[in-house]
Amino acid sequence: MKKVIFLMMSLVFAVTACEKVPLTGRKQLILVPNNDMLSMSFTQYRQFLDTSRVIASTGDAAMVTRVGDRIRQAVESYMNSNGYSKRLEGFKWEYHLVQSNQVNAWCMPGGKIVVYSGILPYTQNEAGLATVLGHEVSHAIAEHGNERMSEGLVANGILQVGQVAAGIATASKSPQTQALFQQAIGTGGPLMYQYFGALPHSRNQESEADHLGLIFMAMAGYDPNEAITFWQRMAKASAGKAPAEFFSDHPSDARRIADLQKLLPDAMKYYNGRR
């Protein structure tokens, strides 16, 4: 019983440990100290670079740095002007182009960015690359990694509460009955969390990063209309290959294009305000 009480108190604390995402204002759960996130990020980033083929001193590498720096300036300007400067504490921005056929890019906590060369045929120009980097940087700004880790901790706590409660409820039952209850919770719990918790929330985070990224690329002086064009190219390339949205951690290309089109008028205000 003491274990149940301790776990329930931990969950109550978790629910109250909320922050708000810049621009969208969405409340989020943040439990992992920022210093811990940055330390893990910087270590993993350096290990990745040490074992990867980093492209330097080329036009494409210079473009990655140039676009990344413009996005950084836009992000810092917005964050510092809107009371979110604390989220940038400890950031040490880096931009690297890595030789790989993967059509991908990412940004780790602390502004550690990697662009795979395989995505450049799809970005095609600086505005296309700004779409990608704006999106990836937004994951770091919105602390999506910390949020996922925090929610995983809470989900694990809930599962433990369920297992302990099942043990108490079936204490007078046969060992076979107790085993069946524990197995049902141990198998069904993670699956329920995966399909009705983790994946839907991951899709929401991706959409949120699209939203923030569209604004940041506009603030950096890149036409937001190019984001629509980029995702249309991606949709054409992945036609028939993507899993059903319910089973994916990303929204469908059609959904994200439609969402970006709805956000475009607001993004254009930021873009036109710079011109």
**Nearest of 233, 230, 237, 235 to residue 245 by alpha carbon:** 235
End-to-end CA distance of the chain: 64
DSSP code of residue 28: E
Q: Beta strand pairing status for 54-55 and 94-98?
A: antiparallel
Contact 83, 103 (CB under 8 A): no
Q: Which residues pair with 18 in a beta bridge?
A: 29
Q: Which of 94, 126, 136, 226 is an active site residue?
A: 136
* Spatial distance between the Cα atoms of 161 and 167, rounded to a whole number of angstroms: 10
Contact 32, 20 (CB under 8 A): no
**Nearest of 102, 139, 137, 95 to residue 117 by alpha carbon:** 102
* Spatial distance between the Cα atoms of 235 and 244, rounded to a whole number of angstroms: 14
Order the strands of the 94-98 sheet from edge to edge.
54-55, 94-98, 112-116, 105-108
How open is the CA angle 141-112-147, to the nearest 5 degrees? 40
- State yes or no: is 151 an active-site residue: no
As annotated, the active-site residues are 136
